[in-house]
A and B are shown apart, each in its own frame.
Chain A
Amino acid sequence: MTTTERTAAAPDPVASDLIGSGVEGGLGEQLSAWWQRVRGGEMGALPAIAGLIFLAILFGSLSPFFLTPINFANLMNQSAALVVLGMALVFVLLLGEIDLSAGVTGGVSMAAFVVLNVKGGVPWPLALAAGFAVGIATGALIGFLVARVGIPSFVVTLGLFLGYQGLALLIIGAGGLYPINAPEVIALQNGRLPVWGGWVMLGVMLLISGATSVWDRRRRARAGVPNRAISLVWIKLIVIAVLGGAAVAILNLNRSQSVIPIEGVPIIVPVVLAILWIGTFVLDRTRFGRYVYAIGGNAEAARRSGIKVRWIKWWCFVICSGLAVVAGLFAQARIGSVDGAAGRDIVLSGVAAAVVGGVSLFGGRGRLVHAAIGALVIAVIINGLALLRLEAGINLLVTGGVLILAATVDALSRLRSGGARA
């Protein structure tokens, strides 16, 4: 049968008769199997990564400023809100649902936060907690209306999208603007790790990644099933080390244009990475995450398997809105203030980010890291077009076009993987 990598740790003689699990074979076979899957329509974030490289070359050649350390650092700060919003939307997109109100939910929560803090004199941690409570309550409401009452999420959240724009205006007051008076909050987007801190961050990433791989391999070996070639683990670690190392090195350069040095990885980077890691852990390794995918794939099958479909859906909307508040926080901390229009324009970019990254609008397919990569694509487009000083209208046209293009790729790849079934 299969030629599996047999080790002394798994002496069970039956194991050699196991049905394959796709992990057999060396590096070459793994690569060709992966290529087969890509050709079968499981492209993941591949188009987005290609797009990112293409855009970097394009803007790099058109603008001398694009590929500078300061712009790279700017990009990290600019994209943080979009990355988190994209990840928030993954939780509902995986169900085949949508949340068009995610942007304004963040906006209203931030409005509540600043008004309580600045006008009401509430200490900022309490005011921020109140902001989060507003967001989570919103998610709970959407979840109730969608999962329990059975209204399509598109309608519920479109209504909320309009209603919350009004609510934000009422809270802030027309034309009003409140500063964020908490230096700790501003530091989220203005703060930087010390130079050594960036390297520590990279070390922690490598450690977590390596330890997880070792842990998984041990557990598989204990169960007597084969592991992938160990070289793949090394390749993963080397890729993280090289790409991460390059990024940290660039961000550690002094990017100041005055005498006061500005150097170090923006604090927002490890914060976003932590959210990405926790979210991915939940989706990949817990029952909740598995059930989210199952419901997105076939809700009726999930229900018959004893999964509490409505409960899981409700939680997804709560998580989405909770993360939307985080995204709103990142967006407003960068500006340093909150006005009545906060979060109004970002939501479609968030959907675009997820879809461009390879998250399916039809549910059941996609990962958080896909949304993060897609968000970088959108952020690079916005950043690059701004550097080229094109008219603002072009920006919207391009972002909208990319969204439709990505949705087309999504629909076509779905046709292809569906066609293979027969």
Chain B
Amino acid sequence: MTEPIIRLRGVKKAFGPVSVLKGVDLVVMPGQVTALVGDNGAGKSTLIKGLAGVQPYDDGEVLFDGEHATLHTPRDAAGLGIEVVYQDLALCDNLDIVQNMFLGREELAAGTFDEGRMERDASDTLRSLSVRTVKSVRQKVSSLSGGQRQTVAIARAVLKKARVVILDEPTAALGVAQTEQVLNLVRRLSDQGVAVVLISHNLTDVFAVADDIAVLYLGQMVAQVRTAETTRDEIVGYITGTKVPAGVDLIGTSTIAIGGDA
């Protein structure tokens, strides 16, 4: 059994009196897709922002490669090889694919851009992900479809030699065919040994691609289960709080009527 690349233990985060993460555990394995699901307000974004170093956790332990790690700034996260592909993708429409993929760390030779090398590396990276839909790496990003943009954003993370790629709702705005493309890409990414954390509301996507499903319910990790060992109904139950795995107590949810519709 391989070591988890990320292990969170008892992670907590509060905004003033509101406790958003109430001691969350999470295990992320290299070469596997870990889906992070939960309803709106469950704390998914807060959990991810902590991993990205954007909003450090208040309490709890982060183990990276089995060793204690500090994630206080985005630079810390990037240094460990954690890359987040946000929902709004953060691409520059007016630049081409190569320019976007290398933005902020362009290759120089003799003080000026080594465009040939960058073009080649970008092309190689896209090919390693079996991208077939992009005709030219010198296309402006403004001319790309939603799925292609997602592809470029993910490829940028790969180009940075990311070891953990966190994808925030990568298929939310996509059509059927493009969703399929992106899910294939996620699969290939994990085949390359990258640990993928997939945040999604779409359980069909989650069951199609994830090895592991972690469910957040009101700031609590109610379950992290193997996809093969669970069912859609069970996960829906965990997400909505109508079902709780044996041995898990829900903390401080008295204001929510759980028993009503079960």
Chain A residues engaging chain B, CB cutoff 8 angstroms: 14-15, 17-23, 40, 42, 216, 219-225, 285-287, 290, 293-294, 296-298, 300-302, 304-307, 364-365, 417-418, 420-422
Contact = CB atoms under 8 A, between A and B. Distances in A.
Contact of B139 (A22, A219, A293, A298): A22
B114 to A, nearest CB: 6
B99 A290 contact: yes
Given A219-B115, A418-B142, A20 B135 contact: yes
Contact of B94 (A225, A297, A421): A297
B99 A20 contact: no
Contacts of B142: 417-418, 420-421
B25 to A, nearest CB: 28
A18 B123 contact: yes
A223 B116 contact: yes
A306 B83 CA distance: 13
A222 B120 CA distance: 10
Interface string B63-103: 00000000000100000000000101111111100110001
Contact of B103 (A19, A302, A417): A302
A225 B103 contact: no
A223 B131 contact: no
Nearest to B145: A422
Nearest to B149: A421
Contact of B95 (A221, A297, A304): A297
Nearest to A217: B116
A238 B143 CA distance: 32
Return the 10 tightest CB-CB contacts between A and B, nearest first.
Answer: A223-B116, A305-B104, A297-B92, A297-B94, A220-B116, A364-B94, A301-B90, A285-B112, A22-B138, A22-B136
Given A19-B127, A225-B123, A420-B142, A293 B112 contact: no
Contact of A21 (B99, B113, B124, B138): B138
B92 A301 contact: yes
A302 B102 CA distance: 11
Nearest to B111: A286
A298 B93 contact: yes
A220 B120 CA distance: 9
> Contact size class for B?
35 or more
Contacts, number: 119
B239 to A, nearest CB: 29
Contacts of A22: 136, 138-139
B217 to A, nearest CB: 30
Nearest to B135: A20
Given A285-B112, A297-B94, A306-B105, 14 more contacts: A18-B120, A19-B127, A20-B136, A219-B109, A219-B115, A219-B117, A220-B116, A223-B114, A300-B90, A305-B103, A307-B103, A364-B93, A420-B143, A421-B145
B111 to A, nearest CB: 8
B39 interface: no
B95 A293 contact: yes
A161 to B, nearest CB: 28
A294 B103 CA distance: 8
A293 B94 contact: yes
A200 B137 CA distance: 39
B123 A294 contact: no
Given A40-B143, A302-B92, A304-B90, A287 B106 contact: yes
Contacts of B138: 20-23
B126 interface: yes
A418 B93 CA distance: 9
A297 B90 CA distance: 10
A22 B119 CA distance: 11
B236 interface: no
